[in-house]
Amino acid sequence: MKPPLQGIHLHNYRNFQNFHQTFDNNHTLFKGRNAVGKTNILEAISFLCPGTGFRKDSIQNIPNDEHKSDPVLIHYEFIHESLSNSLKIDFSKNDNRWSKQYLLNDKKIQQQHLLKIFQLFWFTEIDKVYFIKDIQYQRNTINRLACYFEPSLFQLLNKYTKLRREKKKILQSTKEISWLKSLDKQLIDIGEKIINHKINFLKSFQEFLHNEESELFIFEINPSFGLSKKDEFLNKFGQNLSDENQWPQDHRLQSEYDPLKSVFDITHQDKNLTQLSSAQSKLLILSFLLQCAKFLNENKITIFLIDEIFDNFDMINIQKVIRYCAENKFQTFFSTTDNFALQGDINNLEIKEVL
């Protein structure tokens, strides 16, 4: 049986002027020398998640170097709920500003619509480093996973961010306290909804883990103050908002109690990621992502991307990962520069040379 994502076409994307690839197997390994574009292909697939792809790069850096002002097109062919579909993401420049447009079967859609069809998970060496050392990156990752659990959270997070920006502008330009109080009321209302969605995600995921028997790396989840003591947290958040309205001339926004930052810590035997060895931290992050994918896998196309897989794992763990993905019907894409003879070792794996 063919996999759900059956093909991708890149036009004017990174080092590819025109690139087309079809997928006949559930697991695909892109193999080739350094700098031939393996990671670029994985990044293009990662745009099936709302946002800026796993590199978090600016759109202006995506066009091919020889055609920097020309439009960029990513075209995906996939099957969902037994129907063949076409998804196009068009990156174009108008009035010196780049923007994205999403077209599903030639009908324009909002990017959050992707949350109803796809859920993307990725693991790269850069992700590992950021996930361990950058608390904000870890929070953003968990927020994205919570959006897969409750897609309406995506809009709430965006609206919350816009209101925070609006408040900062008002603080810098006016002393109209009634306007600020009106914004604060909206922020508290949206903040409470965000916290409630995250609490529901956390509780459901914890119940899943409690009943899950997995041979993957064991981890624990420790909720933040916002998710463990909601009422007290929201009171402190409201006080923060009020204090901001009296802030000195720099008008910076306090964020000690912030619904965006309320997530959970992931530990192994009470040790956080920074206290584990490099191999342990890699396995912990990947185990967390894999079990999240299984937990969230309901009538969606689940795709896993692992860049330079042989740099991250040995053959035993690679086989564990692919077996777990196969058992749970995830579609996987890997990249490597190594020349390993895998075709006989792992079933349903197609190796594609990138030249």
Angle value at C-alpha 81, between 78 and 87, nearest 5 degrees: 30
How sure is the predictor about 189, in pLDDT bands with cuts at 50, 70 and 90? very high
Can you tell me the distance from the alpha carbon of 212 to that of 87, in angstroms, rounded to the nearest whole number?
Answer: 34
Cα four-point dihedral sign 130, 132, 133, 138: positive
Q: What is the pLDDT of residue 228?
A: 97
Give CA separation, 68 vs 22, 60, 346, in Å.
27, 8, 40
Closest CA to 127 of 354, 294, 308: 308
Global pTM reads 0.91
Please tell me which residue, 311 or 239, carries the higher pLDDT value: 239
Please tell me which residue, 215 or 210, carries the higher pLDDT value: 210
Can you tell me the distance from the alpha carbon of 298 to that of 277, in angstroms, rounded to the nearest whole number?
Answer: 34
Can you tell me the distance from the alpha carbon of 9 to that of 21, in angstroms, rounded to the nearest whole number?
Answer: 7
Angle value at C-alpha 206, between 196 and 121, nearest 5 degrees: 85
* Residue at token pair 């035993």: 316
Can you tell me the distance from the alpha carbon of 301 to that of 146, in angstroms, rounded to the nearest whole number?
Answer: 16
Q: What is the pLDDT of residue 340?
A: 58
Q: What is the pLDDT of residue 343?
A: 47
Please tell me which residue, 162 or 297, carries the higher pLDDT value: 162
pLDDT at residue 275 is higher than 70:
yes
Phi, psi for residue 104 in degrees, rounded to 5: -105, 115
The secondary structure of 104-170, three-state, reads ECCEEECHHHHHHCEEEEEECHHHHHHHHHCHHHHHHHHHHHHHHHCCHHHHHHHHHHHHHHHHHHH
Phi, psi for residue 293 in degrees, rounded to 5: -60, -40
pLDDT at residue 58 is higher than 80:
yes
Q: What is the pLDDT of residue 310?
A: 76
Give CA separation, 42 vs 48, 51, 101, 282, in Å.
11, 15, 20, 19
pLDDT at residue 300 is higher than 90:
yes
How sure is the predictor about 299, in pLDDT bands with cuts at 50, 70 and 90? confident
Percent of the chain exceeding pLDDT 70 equals 95
pLDDT at residue 2 is higher than 80:
yes
What number of other Cβ atoms are within 10 A of residue 298's Cβ?
A: 9
Write out pLDDT tens, residues 112-166: 999 999 999 999 888 888 888 899 999 999 999 999 999 999 999 999 999 999 9
pLDDT at residue 352 is higher than 90:
yes
Can you tell me the distance from the alpha carbon of 87 to that of 45, in angstroms, rounded to the nearest whole number?
Answer: 12
Domain architecture of the chain: domains with CATH: 1-117+307-355 (3.40.50.300), 135-299 (1.20.1050.90)
Q: Cβ-count burial of 221 within 10 angstroms (0-12 exposed, 13-18 middle, 19+ buried)?
A: middle
Q: What is the pLDDT of residue 247?
A: 65
Q: Which residues contact 192 (CB under 8 A, 6 or more apart)?
A: 234, 259
What value does the mean pLDDT take over residues 316-320? 83
Q: What is the pLDDT of residue 298?
A: 81
Can you tell me the distance from the alpha carbon of 118 to that of 301, in angstroms, rounded to the nearest whole number?
Answer: 5
Can you tell me the distance from the alpha carbon of 104 to that of 329, in angstroms, rounded to the nearest whole number?
Answer: 23
Can you tell me the distance from the alpha carbon of 275 to that of 178, in angstroms, rounded to the nearest whole number?
Answer: 48
- Are 221 and 202 a contacting pair, CB within 8 Å? yes
What value does the mean pLDDT take over residues 306-317? 82
Q: What is the pLDDT of residue 59?
A: 94
Please tell me which residue, 345 or 304, carries the higher pLDDT value: 304
Closest CA to 123 of 13, 269, 288: 288
